[in-house]
Every structure is written in C-alpha cells, then in structure tokens.
Structure 1
Amino acid sequence: MLSAFARVFKSPDLRKKLLFTLGLIIIYRLGSHVPIPGVSYQNVQTCVDSASDSGGLLGLVNLFSGGALLQITVFALGILPYITASIILQLLTVVIPRLDALKKEGASGQAKITQYTRYLTVALAVLQGTGLVATARSGSLFPNCSVASDIVPNDSILTTAVMVLTVTAGTACVMWMGELITDRGIGNGMSMLIFISIASTLPGALWTVKQEGKIADGWLAFLSVILIGFVMVALVVFVEQAQRRVPVQYAKRVIGRKSYGGTATYIPLKINQAGVVPVIFASSILYVPALIAQFADPTAPWAVWITQNLVKGDHPYYVAAYFLLTVFFAFFYVAITFNPDEVADNIKQAGGFIPGIRAGRPTAGYLRYVLNRLTWPGSLYLGLIALVPTVAFASYGGANQLTGTSILIIVSVGLETVKQINSQIEQQSYEGFLR
C-alpha cells in the first residue's frame, strides 16, 4: 500500500491529478458549512444539536450532502439532484426514441444527453430548494425543536427567492466540480463527492454511538458497531467483486493475407448489476406517503397510520416495504439498463457466439436467463445490506448515519477509485518501458 502511494506521488501527472482532486474536495467541504442568506445560524445549530434521525428521502439527501441539508448551507442539496436527473434521463432513454437515438450516436450523442441532464438538474434543484425553504420556514424540518419556526425570521418573497437561488447555484457548482474531477482529477467526480459527503459524517456518528449508546458501556457499543461495520464491508467487497463471466468465442476470418478473430473473451455480469440505484428509488417512493401526510390533516386516520408505520426506519412495516421495493427496483433497473437482444445482435454482427448456444435469439434468451438468475441474489443482497445495519444499529443510539446505503456507496466508490489509480500507475509504467 505504501509503495503504491509512493508511486502515485512520484508520477508528476498522477500527483497533479491527486492534488487537484483534493483541492476541489476541500472547497466542497467548506461550502457545506457556509449558511445561505436569510437563515438564523444560531437557531439552526440549536435545532441540529437536538435533532433526531431523519428518515426517508430527507435522511438520504442529508446523507449525500454530508450533513449540509440540516445545516441549510449553500451545498444543502449536494449532488442528489444530479443523480436523480441522471436516473430519469436513463429511464427516459428506453421510452423516448429521440434519446435512444442520441445514446447510439456515440460521444456526440452522449454529450447532448449530458447537457439535458444538466438542465434537468437545475430544474430539480429549484423544486427541491423551494421544498427545503418551505419546510424550513414551516418548522417541519426540525419537528421536535422549540425554535424551528424561527429558523427563517424573514418570510418575504425576496428573501425566499434569494434562498432558493442560492441553493440552486450551490447545486450547479457541485455538479461543475464533479465534472472537473472526472475530467482532470482521479476517479468519477460525482461518486467521489458522494464518498466524501458520507465519509465526513462517519466519525461524528461513531462518537455519538459512544456517548449516547443505549447499552450500559459506551465503548462496548462503539466497538460493536465498528465490528458490524467491518463485517458489512467484507460482505460488500465480496459481492461487488463477484461476477459471472459468460464466454464468447469469435470465429476466425481471413481477409486478403490477414486473419481476424479467432479470439476468446467474456461478458462480465455482476451479481449486483444495479448498484445502489434501487435503494435510492425505494427510499424516494417510501418518502412520498410521509410527504403527503405531512401536509394533510394530522388527525386523519390514514395520516396517523402513515406517521406511525411508514416513517420510522426500524418499524416492521417500513422494513418490509423497503425490502420489497428494493428487490422490485433491482429487477426493474437491470431490465432497462441491460438489453440481452442488443448484446446478442452485437455479438452476432461481430462474428461471435457463446459456446453451445446458437447466435441470435437463443443467445439473447440465454443471457436473459443468466441475468435473472444473478439478479435474484443481487436484489436480496441489496435489500439485506440496506436494512440489516439500520435494524442492527437501532439498538445503539446515534448510529443514524451508519446505514447499509452509506457502507455500500463508500466501499463501491473506494474499489472503483483504487482500480482507476492502479490502471493509471500501470499505464505510466508501460510508457516508461516504451521510452
């Protein structure tokens, strides 16, 4: 490990990329602590100190923003509007022929889709920023805080517009920094910012476990949570690295005096083909009933039932609904992102075939069969990894940030970043050998 770090800093190109990434990360973390205009910073800190767990989509946004949401800072929304916009565009690609045609055009089409994603990100940031400001003004952001209604002292239209504009500009700035890291830094910029946001909340969450643990010895709770976290990290690494390699053989062709093909390769199908997207979908869907109940009559029977059963993360109904939705969206997302018919056609056009399987429709059927067999354990794994830590940590007070989603994202992004660094180190070694 130390030798790898030494090799990174010995390479001028890698050292420049690493320092550039670290610089943008520092700016991102500083912006996460700058409050927006029109907010009473003292009242916000009072409510944050007495705040309990924020479940649903609100907790997810707070997690992805590194705690900046509840602080109501410039980067309060974080990168989640961009993630949502990317997922929406990816889903619309299956429905809208124009987007599907752009996707097949290559780099130029992808650039156009990226531009649409930026526009949609800004629109979603305006909507979510308006909701955040309205929630903060009504006092619903901190329902158990006595000064929650005084967080925004001035409720004029101009102040509200400035607050929404500031939050939207912060989201656009975060999106720009993420793209800069992708182009000039190390790793995927958006994933890196999410990684930093989640990782920044872990030390405070672990220390809160030690101070407010529900079991007698705080240090015992602290060490127990760390042990559970290591077990979950090992499980995530094992599953994220696991893949089914479907062999593909290409026929040998002779054109003129040269021969082409005759090689063997494989199609890597991961067990968790959907990544963390199903968890985000499930959290978003479960937040809708809670959001409707929040603005409805609190004494209505259906609103009371939703508040009692579909808001707390450790309630059996919430756990069951979360698990089932995660499994469903895992199958749904894999079905729209991996097209066996298209893959089978590409293999056939390149003169390839899967040994023992005829080219064309039988190949597509075989790929669909293998993918379904892999998605079942992958979806169950996602459901368990999203719920087991949450339920397990419910017995330890203050472990609200130590969710399965955070562990999954941290490990996945860490593995991908290490792979990219290693590939660039090997590339530098080959270039030196050739020189």
Structure 2
Amino acid sequence: MFQTFRNAWKIPELRNRLLFTLAILVVYRLGCAIPVPFVTGSALTQMFSNGNMLTYLDMMSGGALSRCTIFALGVTPYINASIIVQLLCVAIPSLEAMAKEPDGQQKIQQITRYVGGGIALVMSIGYYFVVRSMGALKYTSGAAGIFCALVIILSFTAGAQLITWCGEQIDDKGIGNGLSLLIFASVVSHWSSLYSTVTGMLTRAAAGEPQFYFYLPLLVVLALAVIVFIVIMTNAERRITIQYAKRVVGRKQMGGQNTYLPLKLNMSGVMPIIFASALVSIPGTIGSFLNLDPAEHPIWSAFFNTFNYTSFAYIVIYLLLILLFNFFYVTIQYNPVEIANNLRRNNGSIPGFRPGKPTSDFITRTLNKITMVGALFLAAVAVLPIILGNLTGMSIQLGGTSMLIVVGVALDTTRSLDSFMMMRNHKGFLG
C-alpha cells in the first residue's frame, strides 16, 4: 500500500489529485472543530459518556456531534438517504427504469441529495431539542431563542450538505471514494480516545482489578489478528473459469482463450455495516432526542432501551440487517441472467454448463454461497466486539466496525490509485 502511494506521488496528475483530496479532508476536519453559535459544548459531555446510540453517530462524525460543531451530523443523513432511495428503486418501477437510463444515475444522485437534505433538517431539529433539554443553549425564549434555534438548525443542515459536496468533489477531482474517505478520517480521528481507554484500563487494574493487565495485551493481539483477517477476507475471491470458442473473422481466428469471472467474497465492502448501523441506531437516537422519564413512560423507555448497543435484541437485529443489506447490495451489483446472456453473445461459456439458464443458475448458486460467507464475515467483525465488550466490561463495542471501515477504505483507495496508474501507463494503447 505504501509503495502504491509512493509511485502515485511521482505522477504529476495523481499527485495533484492526492493534494486535492488532502485539502478536502483538512477542510472537513476544520469544520468538525468549528462549533455552532450559542451552544456550550461542555454541557453535552455527560450525554455522550452514557454509552447510548449517539456514541455511534459521534464516531461517524469524528467527535463533531459531541462537540456540537457545524459538521455534527457527519455523513449519516446522506447514508440514510442512500438507503431509502435504493430501496425505493427496487420497489417503484419508474425509479428503477430511471436508474437504467443513460443519465439515470445522475438523476438518482440528485434525488438522494434532496432526500439527504430533508433527513439532515429533521435530524438538526431533533438535535436542537436534545441540546436544549441538556441546558446547553445560551438563549431559549423570546426572539433571541427563535433566532438561536434557526441558526443552530440551519448550521447543522448546511454542514451536512457541505459534507456531501466535499465527498462528491473527491470523487470528481480527487482519488475517488469520497464519502468513504470522509468516514475514514472521522473514524481515525475518533481513535484519539484510544490513549484514554488504555490509561483507564491501567487505572482499573491498579485499583484492584488485575484482569485488565491481561485484557490489554489480549486486545492488542486480537486487533492485529482482526486486521489480518479483514485483509485476507476482503481480497479473497472466487474465480469462475470462462472459455471462449474459436471463431473466424475475415482471415483472422479469434477467441479460443480461457479467462475467469472474479467474484469477490466481500463484494459490498463496508457499506452493509454502515447501513445496518445507521438504520438500527434510529430508534435509540430518537429515544435520546426525546429523553423520556422511565417513571412516566415505562413502555416507551423500555422500547428505546432495547436498541441500546449493549442489548441482546440490538445484536440480533444488527446481525440480521448486515445479512440483509449484504444480499441486497450483491443483488443490485450482479445480475446472473445478464451475465449469462453476455457470455452467450460473446461465444463464452462456463465449462460443464450449457449457455443460457444453466449458466445463470450456476452463477446464482455460486453468488448465494459467496454472499452468505461474506455476510457472515461482516457480521462476525461487527458483532463479536460487542459481545466481547459485554463480557469484559470494556468499551470496545464499535472497535470491529471502525477497524473494518479503516482497513476497507484503505484497500479500496489503494485499488483506485492502482487503476489510475494503470490507465496512465497504458494511455498509448487505450487511445
């Protein structure tokens, strides 16, 4: 990976793209440090130290949510909008037809922006009431209170839309994977709390809990093992042999070679975990926004507490959503019938299977097996740290998710740079 970045830096075009991407990331991190007006951030510390679902949203924003900055909402509104629009494309035929048009993806992306803006507005209003209920506002009544509310809500909404624009600029003028790189920067910056976690474990060990002397090196070994496991599983693929028949075109004989159809084990990357986390966090986030008294609203309080990320129900729902979104993403990306038809049109076939339906059935069965293994891999990385954290009492529930995001985005960025360098090195052959 480091060799790839070193080689990319030697190419002027790629160096400019890397510098542009770095500049956008710097702007993003600066926005995560600029607080919105009229808010006292120190009053929110207790709310984000209780281990509720806002902890996940705070990680996705790089700590901007707990500090109440202009980028407090992070990429969560756009991610939720992407989930909604993609599900609607499957459910509504007109949207599905629009997505297949030549400029359909641009229209879908525009719709996603509008939906993301609406979600950002709703989340901004909800977060304003949370900040208000925590006593973190300077003005809460009269004309000053109304003006304060408008400034805070509009700042959060505009910040979320600006983040979306920054991600699109990285896609257009940078090295790609714009939103993924912003999430990467947020997660890495959130790892700055690792020092306080280690010192906290050592303090507890010195205070009479010697098991933490064993837990600390164990966590280091597990972290290294998880990184190796993620890299191996992310790069793993199933290669289906494709054989092309010989044919004569004019005086030339074409075809006759063998190639393969690569099916990656983790085709959807980290997106199923991000989508599942965003979706399962909605009830807990609403509960945090409402801040209900358990004595007055016992039923609703019990319902929202069910979605606390330490509960058994949360683990089960989280796991099922990861499986669902992984299959959903693979279904969108791969159409076995279309692949089989393309092979038949190009005189290609899979040895041992007739062209047409037998080929598509074989590809479907293979995809289902690979998708299930990939989904179980994602679920294991995301869920096992939650279980381990519940058993040991350590706050590592989000460790697997954040590690998968960081490693996955790093590998995707490396592949993007390799693609850019390959296009440059073969520019004379391509045109």
Alignment of 1:35-46 (within 5 A): 35-40=35-40, 44-46=41-43
2:248 corresponds in structure 1 to 254
Q: Which residue number in structure 2 is paired with residue 424 of structure 1?
A: 420
Deviation at 1:421, TM superposition (A): 2.0
The aligned amino acid for 1:209 is T
Counterparts in 2 of 1:82 and 1:287: CA distance versus 1, 3 Å: closer
Counterparts of 2:361 and 2:411, CA distance in 1: 32
Moved over 6 A (4+): 217-220
Task: Name the amino acid aligned to 1:22.
Answer: L
Residue 186 and residue 332 in structure 1: after superposition, are their counterparts in 2 closer, same or farther (change >3 A)? closer
Q: Does 1:212 align with 2:200?
A: yes
**Amino acid across the alignment from 1:355:** P
- 1:109–1:263 CA distance, 2 compared to 1 (3 A): farther
Residues 30 and 265 of structure 1, relative CA distance in 2, 3 Å threshold: same
Q: SS at 1:75's partner residue? A: coil
Paired residue secondary structure (1:150): coil
Q: Is the 8 A contact 1:212 1:398 kept in 2?
A: no
Cα 1:287–1:49, aligned 2, differ >3 Å: closer, same or farther? Answer: closer
Cα pair 2:76 2:278 within 8 Å, conserved: no
Displacement of 1:72? 1.3
Say if 1:252 and 1:262, in contact at 8 Å, map to a contact too. Answer: yes
| Deviation per residue, 1:356-389 (Å, 9 max, x gap) | 1122222221122111211222222121110212
Give the distance between the partners of 2:341 and 2:72, measured in 1 at CA.
45
Shift of 1:249: 2.5
> Residue 119 and residue 51 in structure 1: after superposition, are their counterparts in 2 closer, same or farther (change >3 A)?
closer
Q: Residue by residue, what CA displacement relative to the aligned partner does 1:225-258 show, whole Å, maximum 9, x if unpaired? A: 3332211111111111111112223333334344
Residue 432 (structure 1) shift: 9.3
Residues 92, 99 of structure 1: 8 Å contact kept: yes
Cα RMSD for the two superposed structures: 3.0
- Residues 1:363 and 2:359 aligned together: yes
Residues in 1 aligned to 2:129 and 2:237: alpha-carbon distance in whole angstroms:
46
Paired residues for 1:220-239 under 5 Å: 222-239=216-233
Specify the alignment match of 1:143 in structure 2: none
CA contact (8 A) 1:297 1:303 kept: no
Aligned amino acid, residue 153 of structure 1: Y
Query: 1:24 & 1:292 partners in 2: Cα distance?
Result: 31
TM-score, with length taken from structure 2: 0.86
Shift of 1:37: 2.2
Matches of 1:275 and 1:3, distance apart in 2: 23
Counterpart selection for 2:326 from 323, 326, 330: 330
Whole-angstrom CA distance in 2 between matches of 1:309 and 1:258: 68
Contact 2:205/2:213 (<8 A) preserved: no
1:275 matched to 2:289? The reply is no
- The one-letter code sitting in structure 2 at the alignment partner of 1:14 is L
8 Å CA contact 1:210, 1:219 repeated in 2: no
Q: Which amino acid aligns with 1:212?
A: G
Q: Is the 8 A contact 1:247 1:354 kept in 2?
A: yes
Residue 22 (1) aligns with residue 18 (2): no
For residues 133-192 of structure 1, give each alpha carbon's deviation from its aligned partner in whole angstroms, at most 9, with x where no partner exists: 122222xxxxxxxxx223453353332222221111111211111111112112311111
Aligned counterpart in structure 2 of residue 175 of structure 1, from 164, 183, 194: 164
CA contact (8 A) 2:32 2:64 kept: yes
Q: Which secondary structure does the structure 2 equivalent of 1:149 belong to?
A: coil
Q: Are residue 129 (structure 1) and residue 115 (structure 2) matched? A: no
Q: Any stretches of 5+ residues in structure 1 without a counterpart?
A: 139-147
Contact 2:227 2:407 in 1 (8 A): yes
1:102 equivalent to 2:98? Answer yes
CA 1:329/1:422 → structure 2, altered by over 3 Å: closer, same or farther?
Answer: closer
State which drifts further: 150-159 or 359-368: 150-159
Q: Which residue of 1 aligns with 2:70?
A: 74
Task: Indicate the residue corresponding to 2:7 in structure 1.
Answer: 7
Whichever residue aligns with residue 357 of structure 2, its letter is R
Under a length normalisation based on structure 1, what TM-score does the superposition of the two structures give?
A: 0.85
What SS does the corresponding residue of 2:315 show, helix, strand or coil?
A: helix
Q: What is aligned with 2:281?
A: 287
Partners in 1 of 2:112 and 2:283 — Cα distance? 27
Structure 2 residue 112 is the aligned partner of structure 1 residue 117:
yes
SS in 2 for 1:131: helix
Change (3 A) 1:432 1:223: farther
Number of residue pairs aligned between Structure 1 and Structure 2: 418
Looking at structure 2, the residues matched to 7 and 413 of structure 1 have their Cα atoms a distance apart, in angstroms, of 19
CA distance in 2, matches of 1:248, 1:407: 36
Q: Counterpart of 1:187? A: 176
Structure 2 CA distance for aligned equivalents of residues 104 and 302 of structure 1: 46
1:15 & 1:403 partners in 2: Cα distance?
32
Percent identical residues: 39
Match of 2:33 in 1: 33
Kindly tell me: are residues 196 and 431 of structure 1, through their superposed partners in 2, closer, same or farther at Cα, counting changes over 3 Å?
same
1:54, distance to aligned residue in structure 2 (A): 4.0
How far apart in 2 are the matches of 1:429 and 1:329?
A: 37
Q: Which residue of 2 aligns with 1:349?
A: 345
Q: Distance in 1 between matches of 2:21 and 2:257?
A: 39
For residue 211 of structure 1, report the CA deviation from its aligned partner: 1.9
Does structure 2 conserve the Cα–Cα contact (< 8 Å) formed by 1:136 and 1:152?
Answer: no
Which of 207-216 and 31-40 deviates more?
Answer: 207-216
SS in 1 for 2:45: helix
Cα 1:125–1:189 change in 2 (3 A) is: same
**CA separation in 2, counterparts of 1:382 and 1:37?**
40
